[in-house]
A and B are shown apart, each in its own frame.
Chain A
Amino acid sequence: MVRQTNPVLSNATVTSFQKLNSPLQLINPWRVKRSVILGLKSLWLHKLRSLLTAMGIVFGVASVIAMLAIGEGASYEAQLQLKNLGSQNIILTSVKPTNTSTAGEEERSLVIEYGVTYRDLEQIRATVPGVEIAVPGRRIKDFLWNQTRSIDAEVLGTVPWFPEMRNRRMVEGRFFLQIEMEGCDPVCVINEELAAKLFPLSSPIGKEIRLQRNYFKIVGIIETNATGANTEFGSKGMSKADESGAGDSEDADLPMEMMIPLSTLEDRFGEVLFKYRSGSFEAEKVDFHEVTVKIDDGYPVVPAAEAIRHILERNHKEVDYKITVPLELLRRAERTKQIFNIVLGSIAAISLLVGGIGIMNIMLATVTERTREIGIRRALGAKQRDIVLQFLVETILLSGAGGLIGVGLGLGVPVIIEKFANMMTIIQFWAPTLAFSISVLTGVIFGIYPAIRAASMNPVEALRHE
């Protein structure tokens, strides 16, 4: 059969020769495709080795994604809080003293007096420069009724400019007005959550809600405060301080809120608020459960907060208040983000470096192992750049595969963090892309040297290699 004439030899091959002489051969897509197939084959040949080699890249890439997700989450959370609380605001919250410190002097049935007082506010207004307006608020936690439907909610007595100060948007209707405040009118605004729970079937505007023996006419619906963060003086902060009301913390995630004029609250419920808790009545006298102090734009917030702290320290024997400076929250969040960036960034950098070195090491070993093959390919017409391409593609495939696994892991890690560390994480669409690109880049950086070393071998010596 060898004797047969050879049509292939005599014409077909000769015609297709005189092509492809350009220096751009390296990025010829056909060539790259073939190199990729070749690279995949040879990586597949040593599956376990490839996998182990890629581990460094896997963790590096996963750390990059986790870092970005946590950082973004922290930033977003802080910004949201800042938006809700107002960057020029200082929020004073009354905190009920813990039972241990008061138990000696006061029985449960007695009136407990604590928190931010009128006197505090007057002194703050008089002495702290740049204090613009204060939004005072008092809270009652009790059941609200719509006929037979009822729900445990927060009732906040406050002032008409509350939404503006706290960046809260009206969803329907309006907030209560100055005249209603002056007239101690029984009007109220409820949040979306409460509206949905108490009036699931129809619009609550114009309807009435019962609180104890009083009826309040609903004039508007305000958006639910989405942060649900414990820095907000609302449900969470209160229920944490108020230990006897531990059962209330269930619905702390999305607070049920009703807002009525502060004057109305004082008019109907008096100075002393009664609560029925764990079998006994509890009464407390609190001037304000919370006060939002707005500092004029020209004045720095943090020193003002310091001044306020001094005043409160002087006036109160016990720390029955809490000062929240949203701007500081933001700074703290930024610091957290920075720390995370440094820690995870270092992990990522070290993993990628170690991973890269591991890959380079393996590729150098591969090059030595395949010296003979390199010699054969060179003898059969492979140019140096063909060899470079072959090994570089193989390295990039290795690191890229590590990158893909890393992206998978990196997308999973924030979910776990969110679940167990109660931290918000945000994965932006470009984060996996960036992390993957880093893995590819690592492959290029650490693959160049082994590839060049492979290509610069002397063909004769390579062929003689055992």
Chain B
Amino acid sequence: MPPKPRMSDRRPIIELRDVEKHYGMGEITVKALRGVTLTVYEGDYISILGPSGCGKSTLLNILGCLDQPTEGDYLLEGENVANLADDDLSQVRGKRLGFIFQSYNLIQQLTVVENIEVPLYYQGISEKESHEIAASLAEQVGLGSRLDHRPAELSGGQQQRVAIARALANDPAVILADEATGNLDSKSGGDILQIFDDLNQRGKTLILITHDEGMADRTSRVIRLKDGLIHYDSMGQAAPSEMNYKSKALSTG
């Protein structure tokens, strides 16, 4: 097992600065996010908790470049993606981000291996190569024998494992999961969490939305949202530079 990355090696991958998201509902404007500032470092294993409607999904959509902030900046690996054109957002999503959804969101008419290949297809990777990658990833999530099955022929836990493999296909910088275990029983949910743990062990950055305190305990950093604001961050609200300094001090100490 490779060693856990040291704090000193970590660089910020995501920096949100005063991000707001407003939804215009006719006369009324709903402020789903009201100024979120957040830095995510490489190798972070974050869970985001909060009551329903506090803006978790909204935040994750913005982090995932599926949606854009109304106000504020979003730096992804140093590049400001808050105001990118649609094509560039697609490119960012396809190359640097991996998504896992509560309802798995597999394409029903495609087989397991074809589902995993979808992100590779949009990156223009050859059929042969993407098939190899997809098959190997399916193997890693324990579905090596189900390559040609359709999603409907799989259990919820298995489908979610396909979704994880798909999220990994392009080797993204960050994996975002919105209530990934929300539809699963505790056994298969546990399997999924085990995979997440392993991925983080191997240095993957993961951000998970959850309602499950037990799941939050497994992650190395917990963020609590309330009414569109970060209400608690286990890493503290320190500025990124200070944070870096601290982690350096920690590792050398």
Contact = CB atoms under 8 A, between A and B. Distances in A.
Contacts, number: 115
A372 interface: yes
Interface string A1-24: 111111111101110110111000
Interface in A20-57: 20-21, 25, 28, 30-31, 34, 41-42, 45
Interface stretch (A148-156, A203-211, A311-319, A381-389): A381-389
Given A13-B171, A381-B95, A34 B66 contact: no
B109 A20 contact: no
Interface string B117-158: 011111111110100110011011110000000000000000
Interface stretch (B45-53, B73-81, B194-202): B194-202
A378 interface: yes
Given A14-B171, A372-B105, A380 B122 contact: yes
Given A2-B140, A4-B140, A9 B168 contact: yes
B55 to A, nearest CB: 13
A17 B109 contact: no
Contacts of A8: 132-133, 136-137
Give the contact-size bracket for chain A. Answer: 35 or more
Contacts of A7: 136
Nearest to B127: A34
B43 interface: no
A42 to B, nearest CB: 6
The interface centre, meaning the residue of A2, A17, A377, A379 with most chain B CB atoms within 10 A of its CB, is A379
A460 interface: yes
B166 interface: yes
B198 A463 contact: no
A16 B125 contact: yes
The interface centre, meaning the residue of A1, A376, A380, A382 with most chain B CB atoms within 10 A of its CB, is A380
A160 interface: no
Contact of A380 (B99, B124, B133, B139): B99
Contacts of B142: 1-2
14 contacts: A5-B202, A9-B171, A9-B202, A12-B132, A19-B124, A30-B124, A34-B121, A41-B109, A375-B105, A377-B118, A381-B91, A381-B123, A460-B66, A463-B105
The 10 closest A-B pairs by CB, nearest first: A381-B94, A20-B124, A381-B122, A380-B119, A383-B90, A13-B171, A8-B136, A459-B66, A383-B87, A376-B105
